[in-house]
Chain A
């Protein structure tokens, strides 16, 4: 994480150079997080794109690159949550919820995750409640400290600690069930 470079953006947030810089630095991170939360490449791209649109349209500029990053991660997290809620409702309406939810052959996932263990990880993550999933994803893939995660999620640090731990515990259980060699 390029922490040493802090761009004072202020009003220049949407100037071409600055926007592009933040985009370059943050897109891979956002994408990684979005992908681990949603498990779908196309959705991740949509979420990242939408987050940057909102970033561009933001009226009050963010003071520096770190704040921009936290803000963008928070937006992606919220968008992912909305998406999941929506899809959950749709799937329930179709009475296919449980079947689809665990199906490894859903579009977008199969082609890209040829690697079987990657698929198992994605499935195990999907089984976590959204709150725990975001906490562990931000910790493991976002490379954020508990304090940063607390800022992004808007919860206390001790709450982050508990969520990360519970996510780990549940992940271990799910992975054991999938018989991945975790020990």
Chain B
């Protein structure tokens, strides 16, 4: 109260003409916003606790609820905006680093939206994907730069290990612990059905999910949680996580409250102990060190699994990628600054890193210039929102995209951005058993399959429009892209022409 008071961000608007006081909102709100007044016989809400996750709105059987942004406002000021002032108040109240979840919400440029896709007219006919074959399968891994023949003159066919994907999309890393058992189950089942891969994140692989190993990327992060020989051999590929787009240069911290039961066993750390991932890998301070870890992992898996190195998109990304491409890694994953997270310091999330579009274009160009593009496949992530984003990424040079926020949205996430509270009303970013059960993997996996099937259709439609019938023919095909409203420098980095050129 008094100087510490911050007016609630949202208002719960209840239409009392429609409310039948069934108390579903009360039972469904883990933030305890709604309660029933016995005296008055009506539902009441305490909007101060509301995070606008829309759970009550979605389940209200009479549509009696809506959540609106409060219009109680501080005096308008273009420099000191409401949110900025409230963050100051929060820090003055607590003395702490501000925490946020999910992706950067700031109005920073989204280059995908300033890039337009070509289509064929007259001289080069478009292709109808419903009538003609259209290939969306991609293979990730090191590709030979030239044909080699044996002593008998026959072509050597052995390839380094490859990952086959039915479409150029994978579910990106979200650890068991940061998201729930049922969320992992949904992702694993959907990836298996779709013929793509999901990613364990840094929390190890729950023993129930080893059966989905062929569609799993197992991650090795700086905390090395849950890493052991069987784990490494369980997946289709191994990912070394050097950084994350939402918080480049920052480690992770899963609070002890979430390290319970199976999460503790899977991470191989004691219950209730905080899982702290250091900012660096303490054994990696150079590309040579990275190479040692890459080959340690390859050695542990008999050179059968491709190794992915995931880095955040930062200023020097092209040079870093060039180093990684020479480290023996098979795939480089670049995570842009709009990527999501279960928790990150707000200032880091909103101010550190660079857009993945620019990073991708710069890396692809650098690797081509150096003649080592075939050493690695490129995977990009950090807010890939639609099939159009996937197409644009592939045309800029990506082999595949990592998708996580979109996948979570399919599972029910409403982007309230309060994962760090551990009270996810949709059963995703929580370990509370009563909340976890809200995500039925039968429903979740079917919705993920729906989403990716829809994207695959759209990818084929867009490719068909361009007169391209194989995703391989689109990769790095920047002639298919044009920029709008971009300056010369941006166009130069993206390696595309302006619309009209």
**Are A and B bound to each other?**
no
Residues of B within 8 A of A (CB): none
Interface residues of A (CB under 8 A from B): none
